[in-house]
Amino acid sequence: MTRRIETALLVDDDDAFRTTLQGALRRRGVVARTAATIDEGLVALEYEPVDLVVIDYRMPRGDGLSALAKYRKLQPDAAIVMLTGFGDIPLAVAAMREGADTLLSKPVDADKLLREAASLRERQRSPPSAAPTPPPGSLKLDDLEREAIRAALRESGGVVATAAKLLGIDRRTLQRKLKKLGG
């Protein structure tokens, strides 16, 4: 059984987007707080932990990518989701390397965000599977690329053309990568 997300922190400089997502989460029973800057978000986490951190990639005073390690250190058990309107494989790989659990494209549906976050938290709590997690620093580029492609396919409902758009690559390129990666 997946554990419900009860608290969230939304870090985004776009006031309209941030308050709209906050309202959507609150209507779903989530205690959602907001921060307009990276620093505001970090201060908020020092005083009150959350189940979910949603952070925007592009912000005027410090980008979300460079702050991920700080957020992960403050909230090691939280699901951390990076949002972007500019998603591609290198960004997804960098976000995962810096501490994000996943990268989602804006605008994001609140129900989808909560499902993904609950699933991420469940995976964090699951006992180790038959395939052990590689030690930090030993991830292979193919593994990271495969995970980014799988995430895009999940987000697109399995539609290759849509997944390719999310990844910022040509549909045929994605089909070749899928064949090469065995997917």
Q: H/E element holding 175?
A: helix 171-181
What is this structure's pTM? 0.66
pLDDT digits (tens, 9 = 90+) for 39-80: 999 999 988 889 999 998 888 777 787 888 898 898 888 889
H or E stretch covering 82: strand 79-84
Examine the pLDDT at 92 and tell me if it is beyond 60. yes
Top-confidence residue, 135 or 59: 59
CA 54/CA 179 separation, integer angstroms: 33
Contacts of 82 (CB under 8 A, 6+ apart): 55, 56, 57, 64, 65, 68, 95, 100, 102, 103, 104
Q: How far is CA 174 from each of CA 129, 165, 166, rounded to the nearest angstrom?
A: 28, 10, 11
